[in-house]
Amino acid sequence: MNEEQQSLLLKSYSRFLPTQGVKLSYGTAGFRADASLLPSTLCRVGILAALRSLKTTSVIGLMITASHNKVSDNGVKIADPSGGMLSQHWEPFADALANAPSPQHLLMLINEFVEKEGISMDGVRPVEVLLGRDTRPSGDALLHAATLGVTSIVGAVATDMGILTTPQLHWMVRARNKGLRASEQDYFDQLSSSFRCLMGLIPTEKRKFDGMDEKVVVDGANGVGGVKLKDLGKLLNALVIEVRNSGEDGGVLNDGVGADYVQKEKVLPYSFGSKDAGIRCASLDGDADRLVYFIVPPEGSSKIDLVDGDKILSLFALFIREQLSFLNEKEDEKNYQQARLGVVQTAYANGASTNYLKQLGLEVNFTPTGVKYLHEKAAEFDIGIYFEANGHGTVLFSESFIGWLEARNNEISSGSKDSEGEKAVMRLLAVSKLINQAVGDALSGLLLVEVILQHMGWSIHRWNELYHDLPSRQLKVKVADRTAVITTNAETVVVSPPGLQEAINAETAKYPQGRCFVRPSGTEDVVRVYAEASTQEAADTLANCVAKLVDQFLGFNSS
């Protein structure tokens, strides 16, 4: 590291001194905390992003958001060249950099890491970081800190992409690194044109809903997603989107609104009521990477029928399976190898959804909790679908399968488009462009749900009847050291302490349709307990009994 580089880094350190006594850890959500604690962290993540750009010789993204957290919080996460999450290999360096206690320590960390990674800091290679932020009031100040961090690496350029949803920034990073146009308008154009293509391929006899109108009412969480959805909706002719809680009327971000609130509390968000009974309703989270639907009950009840990420996954899987079946019927075995479709869930997926997917004959895979694990597994398939119950998920298409679809589509363009096999090619190609290939995206997900419901001729009520969730309960047990619990098999089986899993099995066997697992939290000093059974009373009892077992085996106090 030359003197110019050292001087720039020392200058950035002095501008944003770390808050004493605060230690942050980079996880699935990146760094997240009260916004007042984060200027130093944002500056250092800017450094990290620039170094990542140097290492990968690619454009990197830096998103400033705290998603579904309260408005006084903020956070930051990195988008890798693929548009996905920061490589797990770099997470320990992110932690060390954010928590470096002195300028000398910061320089030492960077020197050691760039040497280990073989990163040249000669200022010759192009370095670019795209920065985005949501609508939080703290975003501008944190953007300034992040920009200073990026430009403290010699030759690095920080490009402010403005106020965006998190998935928009990830999409832009992926597009830039594929040599494609990557403005916000390009994002809107790709989604709207793909949506129109799919609408045009709906069978004539299914052009109307089962007794439903063309309107969907969306809770925007008073965040960035509501504003962007309004802009996107202007490009759609066949769908009316009414956005409430857009944040433009003074509503508070994530306060009694948003997908996280709706999914966890199972109650109506603000501004929804009995007048909305029978209408398709949906909710985005604060940065628009989660989506859930819900049904407003008759007058007199605040509870809702939740149509969560598990049911979104099931809807997508049904549609894609149907299209693949059309291909399998028509294609010559010599030039077409059946595409492998895989579904990926975590143990928190409701057991009823898993049973339903398996009954369809689909390959269901499980990973540990966390989007990075789900995404990685889904990428192993020709088409991989993953969703968490909270509404975060997407559909991934392999490059080889997209290449095959494009080649077949080119052949179709000059010939007949009448067979279902040919239409299936066009539908799947349009889905690959509509759904965000980089990360879960509530806007693209909502459009895909809407077009599939129209394709099926289904109301939201028909969709919700695919299966009925088993009653469940989640609890947590306070611990002194959560690492004392070690799990395997996608966190569903305890291997330490010895004997605990056997005790859980014995307790679970007492309940019809019983299922229970425990896992150490990734963020708190607690062990989490999840239980399902045929009745809510049984699920509650099972969860409480297993929480007591955890306490007995580990000597902790439950709460």
Per the annotation, binding residues for Mg(2+) are 67, 285, 287, 289
**67 catalytic, yes or no?**
yes
Cβ-count burial of 413 within 10 angstroms (0-12 exposed, 13-18 middle, 19+ buried)? exposed
Token pair belonging to 161: 């992409």
CA 492 to chain centre: 22
Residue list, annotated binding site for substrate: 388-390, 519-523, 528
Angle at 348 (CA atoms; ends 343, 350), nearest 5 degrees: 75
The count of other CB atoms within 10 Å of the CB of residue 238 is 15
Token pair belonging to 287: 């940065």
Question: What is the C-alpha to C-alpha distance for residues 54 and 57, in angstroms, rounded to an integer?
Answer: 5
Q: Taking the CA of residue 120 as centre, how many other CA atoms within 13 Å lie in the half-sphere pointing to its CB?
A: 6
Residue list, annotated binding site: 67, 285, 287, 289, 388-390, 519-523, 528
Question: What is the C-alpha to C-alpha distance for residues 163 and 144, in angstroms, rounded to an integer?
Answer: 14
The count of other CB atoms within 10 Å of the CB of residue 242 is 14
From the list 12, 40, 53, 67, the catalytic residue is 67
Residue with tokens 């009412």: 217
Question: What is the C-alpha to C-alpha distance for residues 527 and 476, in angstroms, rounded to an integer?
Answer: 6
| Helix/strand/coil for 100 | coil
Question: What is the C-alpha to C-alpha distance for residues 200 and 206, in angstroms, rounded to an integer?
Answer: 11
Strand duo 280-284 + 215-219: pairing: parallel
Instruction: List residues with catalytic annotation.
Output: 67
